Structure 1
Amino acid sequence: MSCEAGCVHYYVYYRVRADAGHEDAEATVRAMQTTLERRTGVAGRLMERREDGVTWMEVYENVTDPGAFEAALRIEADAHRIADIVEPGFARHTERFVECA
Structure 2
Amino acid sequence: MAAALYIYYRVQDNILPIRQQTETLLAEIEKTTGIKGRLLQRRDDTQTWMEVYEAVADADALQQALQRALTTQPLLAALSRHEEWFVPLA
CA-atom RMSD in angstroms: 1.1
Whose Rg is larger? 1
Give the distance between the partners of 1:80 and 1:65, measured in 2 at CA. 23
Q: Which residue of 2 aligns with 1:75?
A: 68
Regions of 4+ moved over 6 Å: none
Which among 76, 93, 96 is matched to residue 82 of structure 2? 93
Q: Which residue of 2 aligns with 1:12?
A: 7
More strand by share: 2
Which among 43, 48, 54 is matched to residue 47 of structure 2? 54
Q: Which runs of 5+ in 2 are unaligned?
A: none
Give the distance between the partners of 2:71 and 2:41, measured in 1 at CA. 21
Which among 34, 37, 49 is matched to residue 30 of structure 2? 37
Give the distance between the partners of 1:9 and 1:33, measured in 2 at CA. 15
Q: Which runs of 5+ in 1 are unaligned?
A: 1-5
Shift of residue 78, structure 1, vs aligned partner:
2.1
* % identity of equivalent residues: 38
Give the distance between the partners of 2:2 and 2:18, measured in 1 at CA. 29
Letter in 2 for 1:95: E
Letter in 2 for 1:56: W
